[in-house]
Structure 1
Amino acid sequence: MSGSVVEHASKQYRKRTNQVEGWLERVQLELQEVQNILQKGEQEIQKKCLGGWCPRNCYSSCKLVDEIPVDKTVGMDSILNEVWRCLDGHQVRIIGMYGLGGVGKTTLLKKLNNKFIDKRHGFDVVIWVTVSKEVNLVGIQEVIRHKLQIPDETWEKKTDEHSRATEICRSLSGKRFVLLLDDLWERIDLRNMGVPDLSYHQNGSKIVFTTRSEDVCHSMDAAVKKFEVKEFAETVAKECKGLPLALITIGRAMSNRRTPEEWRYAINTLQSHPSEFADMESKDHMIRKDELIDLWIVEGILHNYGLNDTRDAGEFIIRSLKHACLLEKVGDSDDFVKMHDVLRDMAM
């Protein structure tokens, strides 16, 4: 059999019947329809992600954390690392940092916020909210919903704080989040904001806040961290007696010092001639608590209390002032207190 005959016979054998041709055409149409469905589905997924409705992490459409400008600082690394370890662990869910105004609590919280930018972690979103003394719940909810990218059309249907809190809670419940609350003056009900109860929402979400009052930390069931500006060196902090004014003064004087020799000289100067550092003279003075309460009674400050309750009221006020960092304990004794000279000057 010649080659041409074989080729002709082969072509005849491979020739498709009309039935096969029809079947193949239907298959191609079905495949095209499937492809169109898949493409539409992907478009819908992208829309939902952009609207903040996607249950998975949409890093391409939702920015994890907004960087906050912060000045260069000295002496916060140890505290920052300690708080970060708490965020990385499972034992602590709420962290409260308290201390006098101006010691650097907000700065530390900003540095913590920015640390999420270049550190490996498993959080889906980091939310910063400034609370302040006059709590504006509507404004707080607005900040949170913008970060969660809840659509305007959905948000506008929520006409009261409760329904908006429910919407925020629904969105947060699908995420492992960090909520940073700056400047709490009193206990705030997280449920009114829309924040899930972390006792039940056990996916590793965390809340960190700053306050001037230790009582606020306890009322929020937080792990408490008292904030001190201290990592120039343990010796320097000891010589400054932990006083913010002294630490700030030394920090300003030593801000451009980098060598161990310079720091050793500063420590020697503090130990031998502390007055050589400007404004380092001490003006605070300890006073016995009983004497302080007696003075309050004479001044009529405790006149609203009965005779038997007056001293108890005085003790309660002193404890409250100590928790708010307005009075300081003297050594290991509970019999004496003192006021920082900065606060005394402000009062005068």
Structure 2
Amino acid sequence: MCFYGFCPKNFIACYSPSKRATELAPTIIEEIEKGNQFRSVSYSNPPQDTWTKPGYRAFESRISFANQIMEELADSNIYVIGIYGLPVVGKSTLTKQVARLAKEKLLLDVASIEVKQNADVETIQKQIAEKVGLKLDESMSISGRACSLSAYIKNKKNILVILDDVWELIDLENLGLPFGICKVLLTSRKRDLLSSEFGTQKEFLLEVLTKEETWSLFGNIVADDVKDLDIQEVAIEVAKRRAGLPIWVVTLAKALKGGNIHTWKEALRLQKRCEGKEMQEKAYSGIEWSYDRLEDEEVKSLFRICGMLGGDCFLDDLFKYTKGLGLSLFEGINTMEEARSRFHALVGKMTLVS
């Protein structure tokens, strides 16, 4: 029991594998130098996406729409498909559902990318490569990356690339996705961009929710509130004016949940004031109303940071950013534990209406 038991008990067991490895090393080096047979000795697993959020409700109209997309993806002659519609109609949520179905039913590896406005080709290439498990050489040119990405995808074959919310033409071949190499699904607000610029073979218009689906979604969120007959009457009127936009329905329903009759009547007044406006303007007015209902400036400040970061930010990252910015919401707090508690308390307040 030398060194109080910390010394290895069997020196031979430790020595033998090391000796064997040392003997094999020159042979391995020689084989590699002969023909460079081994480009890599391991493969990294691409990061796993979460296709649908907890609580996701698949309405009949959306299920039917997703099934149409799946039929086209299963067609061996169809490679480029487009989905278009209003900016808040639910295209991104739908693509998550399609991605899940494509992975489960068609056994496709899916690389889903949110294409931000003015996104550059290099960034998109890097994101696609990361999703499919390819490590790109940082020193390569855009065309060099495109060749590597194209060769890798061609070798893997069963890949679906989703480019969500495209604003302008992106040369797919320059990206590394020449026609026919894999399935590509694009979403945009403009049909002309998809058909004329990207050359989609099929385009689908995603419509708003039906009145029945709108009320189902709205009622599911406000739940017991509508058991009050006075509130129920106003709630039905509010839901009728939702225009079938999921983000508007969810945002306002969360803001109204737990409110009194006066809050509901104020929401109805807002709906009436929006009559005659464009659907997008109506949606933004509903978001603005729920934002104004946030309790204090600290919560609003956190909400604005979330808006700047978009949907790709996790809570841990958001905490680091807000702490690093030295915002007033951490004034008088001296420890990281207290800061985290304060942060999560504010997130809780924010999610009540957002």
Q: What is the TM-score when the length of structure 2 is the normalising length?
A: 0.50
CA shift digits 1:260-281 (9 cap, x unpaired)? xxxxx99xx67xx989994654
Tell me the residue number matched to 2:88.
102
Cα 1:126–1:180 shift into 2, 3 Å: same
CA shift digits 1:286-310 (9 cap, x unpaired)? 9xxxxxxxxxxxxxxxxxxxxxxxx
Pairwise CA distance, 1:63: 5.1
Tell me the secondary structure at the aligned position of residue 95 of structure 2: helix
Paired with 1:193 and 1:163, the residues of 2 have a C-alpha distance of 10
Where do 1:1-348 residues align within 5 Å? 48=40, 50-51=42-43, 62=45, 66-68=49-51, 70-74=53-57, 75=59, 76-117=62-103, 119-123=104-108, 125-151=109-135, 155-156=137-138, 158-174=139-155, 175-198=157-180, 201=181, 205-218=182-195, 219-222=197-200, 223-230=202-209, 236=212, 247=214, 251-255=217-221, 278=268, 281=272, 283-285=274-276, 341-342=282-283
Tell me the residue number matched to 1:26.
none
Is 1:132–1:183's contact at 8 Å kept on the other side of the alignment?
A: yes
Paired with 2:285 and 2:221, the residues of 1 have a C-alpha distance of 27
Is 2:46–2:130's contact at 8 Å kept on the other side of the alignment?
A: no
Pairwise CA distance, 1:193: 0.9
Pairwise CA distance, 1:159: 2.6
What is the letter of the counterpart of residue 227 of structure 1? Answer: L
Pairwise CA distance, 1:283: 4.5
Pairwise CA distance, 1:190: 0.5
Is 1:284–1:340's contact at 8 Å kept on the other side of the alignment?
A: no
Tell me the residue number matched to 2:328.
none
Paired with 1:151 and 1:185, the residues of 2 have a C-alpha distance of 27
Pairwise CA distance, 1:62: 4.3
Cα 1:49–1:180 shift into 2, 3 Å: farther
Tell me the secondary structure at the aligned position of residue 179 of structure 1: strand
Paired with 1:195 and 1:280, the residues of 2 have a C-alpha distance of 45
Cα 1:344–1:107 shift into 2, 3 Å: closer
Paired with 2:219 and 2:272, the residues of 1 have a C-alpha distance of 15
Is 1:99–1:211's contact at 8 Å kept on the other side of the alignment?
A: yes
Tell me the secondary structure at the aligned position of residue 144 of structure 1: helix
Is 1:96–1:208's contact at 8 Å kept on the other side of the alignment?
A: yes
Pairwise CA distance, 1:342: 4.5
Pairwise CA distance, 1:150: 3.1
Give the structure with the higher percent strand: 1
Pairwise CA distance, 1:47: 6.9
Paired with 1:63 and 1:345, the residues of 2 have a C-alpha distance of 38
Paired with 1:282 and 1:73, the residues of 2 have a C-alpha distance of 30
Compare CA radii of gyration and give the structure with the larger one: 1
Corresponding pairs, count: 219
Is 2:165–2:189's contact at 8 Å kept on the other side of the alignment?
A: yes
Paired with 1:229 and 1:45, the residues of 2 have a C-alpha distance of 55
Q: What is the TM-score when the length of structure 1 is the normalising length?
A: 0.50
Is 1:64–1:126's contact at 8 Å kept on the other side of the alignment?
A: no
Pairwise CA distance, 1:161: 0.8
Cα 1:86–1:184 shift into 2, 3 Å: same
Pairwise CA distance, 1:122: 4.3
Paired with 1:151 and 1:63, the residues of 2 have a C-alpha distance of 10
Pairwise CA distance, 1:111: 2.0
Is 2:84–2:188's contact at 8 Å kept on the other side of the alignment?
A: yes
Pairwise CA distance, 1:178: 0.3
Question: Percent identity between the aligned chains?
Answer: 21
Paired with 2:216 and 2:175, the residues of 1 have a C-alpha distance of 41
Tell me the secondary structure at the aligned position of residue 118 of structure 2: coil
Pairwise CA distance, 1:207: 0.8
